[in-house]
Chain A
Amino acid sequence: EDKVVQSPLSLVVHEGDTVTLNCSYEVTNFRSLLWYKQEKKAPTFLFMLTSSGIEKKSGRLSSILDKKELFSILNITATQTGDSAIYLCAVGTSYDKVIFGPGTSLSVIP
């Protein structure tokens, strides 16, 4: 059975801290790993990773994939209150399914 696990499930940090969110997976026929940010409504896309060891960056966010160890991390540096959200990790398979993990709820306090 395909599975995506995220840790921690929730996290409270102070503004300016750096956080690392973890995602591990066990799926049949891995195709891609995706990170989404969800605030009040629909998830919004952050990154897609398909190759090991290549870091993707967008501002203060970055992510990397390890296909040998079957995990990915999402780093957020110099956190701001606007980073408070649920961060979802998802894995796409060649059977056309996109399976999500439970999410990490991040709260950034001033």
Chain B
Amino acid sequence: NAGVTQTPKFQVLKTGQSMTLQCAQDMNHEYMSWYRQDPGMGLRLIHYSVGAGITDQGEVPNGYNVSRSTTEDFPLRLLSAAPSQTSVYFCASRRQTNYNSPLHFGNGTRLTVT
């Protein structure tokens, strides 16, 4: 099973450039979310979705957009990258119908903004 797949694994952007981080899951999970991880700060929730067509903001949503047109995909868009967005980004999913199921994580995308 592929589980949660994130692409690309690494990306370098210049300030002001835009890009989309891709996340796909093949487990038919309703719930998907994006986190960023910075040293000493754990994982901070950016955006999440409880199903196709539904998204909501997490703890640190500014500078990021999301959409959820299918159950499988949950892309994260940076419209104008800033050095403060240098981080490791993780996508995670779980079954929404069982609130007490753990999150399954992708392997992360390491983003550097210069």
Contact = CB atoms under 8 A, between A and B. Distances in A.
Interface of A: 4, 6, 9, 31-32, 34, 41-45, 48, 50, 88, 90, 92, 94, 96-103
B87 to A, nearest CB: 14
B33 interface: yes
Nearest to B54: A96
Interface of B: 31, 33, 35, 40-45, 48, 50, 56, 58-59, 90, 92, 96, 99-100, 102-108
A96 B54 CA distance: 12
B96 to A, nearest CB: 8
B108 A41 contact: yes
A50 B100 contact: yes
Chain A contact residues: over half helix, strand or loop, or mixed?
strand
Nearest to A9: B40
Most interface-central of B43, B50, B99, B107 (chain A CB within 10 A)? B43
B43 A32 contact: no
A44 B104 CA distance: 8
A103 B42 contact: yes
